[in-house]
């Protein structure tokens, strides 16, 4: 803790399996002169007791056995100033893709999810149909969906013979010992007419221009004949 009043330091702590961890708040040495400090540890809004104290350090020890112990923990030091720190205990985050994956009707699309540094127990893919979330597995249209695991940390979903109905949001879910983490991807399926539109527009402009030139020449010849 740097001793800056009114600010809160934050730290993310990633956990994938059961463990015992110690969270500690230590006051910077140049603020060791602060006396009569009231130290409070909280999990969310629930006050918990610290079990270890040294001259300028206060710690708690946590036994993380399941997801119920994940979440936010904070320590607050009150005296002449109020200083605090926030710890966020969370399962590993899953990387999907921020930008939509774009493909065309009749083609195929491959979506990828990754877990960096942590190995999931299992992967599951979902598709969103309105408000319903449908799991994609081997029994769901085997000739439509193919799921491949490049490694334990990477999963691929391949969708074959794309149609406009495949357009939408998909989820990949990684299961860890302490909970589940999701990544979302968006698939945009375009009609085959989309790439042809600029070409057709150019063709239309050329046809119109040629027609105008032809009519002008016909008019000119007719005018000359009349003269």
Provide the CATH number for the domain around residue 17.
Answer: 2.60.40.10
218 occurs within a structural domain = no
Task: Extract the tokens encoding 176.
Answer: 């860890």
- Mean residue pLDDT across the chain: 83
**Do 82 and 131 have their domain in common?**
no
Number of domains observed in the structure of the chain: 2
Q: How confident is the model at residue 154 (pLDDT cuts 50, 70, 90)?
A: very high
207 occurs within a structural domain = no
Most confident residue range from 27-31, 109-113, 201-205: 109-113
Contact 143, 204 (CB under 8 A): no
The reported pLDDT for the residue numbered 14 is 95
**Do 72 and 142 have their domain in common?**
no
**Do 30 and 44 have their domain in common?**
yes
Pick from 35, 70, 90: which residue ends a domain?
Answer: 90
Across the range 194-220, mean pLDDT stands at: 66
**Do 99 and 182 have their domain in common?**
yes
**Do 128 and 174 have their domain in common?**
yes
206 occurs within a structural domain = no
**Do 155 and 178 have their domain in common?**
yes
- The residue range of the domain holding 122 is 94-190
* Dihedral in degrees, nearest 10, Cα atoms 4, 6, 9, 15: 150
196 occurs within a structural domain = no
- Write the pLDDT tens digit of every residue in 8-39: 788 999 999 999 999 988 877 766 666 667 88
71 occurs within a structural domain = yes
Pick from 67, 90, 113: which residue ends a domain?
Answer: 90
**Do 71 and 151 have their domain in common?**
no
Q: How confident is the model at residue 201 (pLDDT cuts 50, 70, 90)?
A: low
195 occurs within a structural domain = no
Contact 22, 61 (CB under 8 A): yes
Closest CA to 91 of 66, 114, 125: 66
Pick from 41, 63, 90: which residue ends a domain?
Answer: 90
**Do 39 and 122 have their domain in common?**
no
């Amino acid at each position: 803790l740097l001793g800056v009043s009114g600010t809160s330091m934050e730290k993310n702590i990633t956990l994938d399996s059961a463990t015992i961890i110690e969270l500690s708040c230590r006051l910077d040495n140049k603020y060791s002169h602060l006396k009569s400090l009231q130290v409070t540890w909280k999990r969310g809004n629930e006050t918990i007791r610290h079990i270890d104290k040294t001259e300028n350090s206060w710690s708690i020890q946590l036994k993380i056995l399941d997801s119920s112990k994940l979440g936010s923990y904070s320590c607050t030091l009150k005296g002449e100033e109020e200083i605090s720190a926030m710890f966020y205990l969370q399962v590993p985050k899953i990387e999907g893709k921020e930008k939509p994956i774009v493909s065309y009707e009749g083609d195929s699309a491959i979506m990828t999810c990754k877990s960096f540094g942590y190995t999931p127990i299992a992967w599951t893919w979902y598709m969103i149909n309105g408000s319903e979330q449908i799991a994609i597995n081997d029994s769901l249209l085997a000739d439509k969906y193919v799921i491949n695991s490049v490694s334990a940390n990477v999963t691929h979903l391949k969708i074959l013979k794309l149609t406009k109905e495949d357009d939408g949001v998909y989820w990949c879910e990684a299961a860890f010992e302490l909970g589940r983490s999701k990544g979302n991807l968006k698939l945009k399926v375009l009609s085959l007419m989309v790439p042809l539109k600029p070409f057709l527009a150019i063709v239309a402009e050329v046809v119109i221009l040629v027609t105008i030139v032809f009519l002008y020449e016909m008019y000119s010849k007719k005018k000359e004949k009349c003269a």
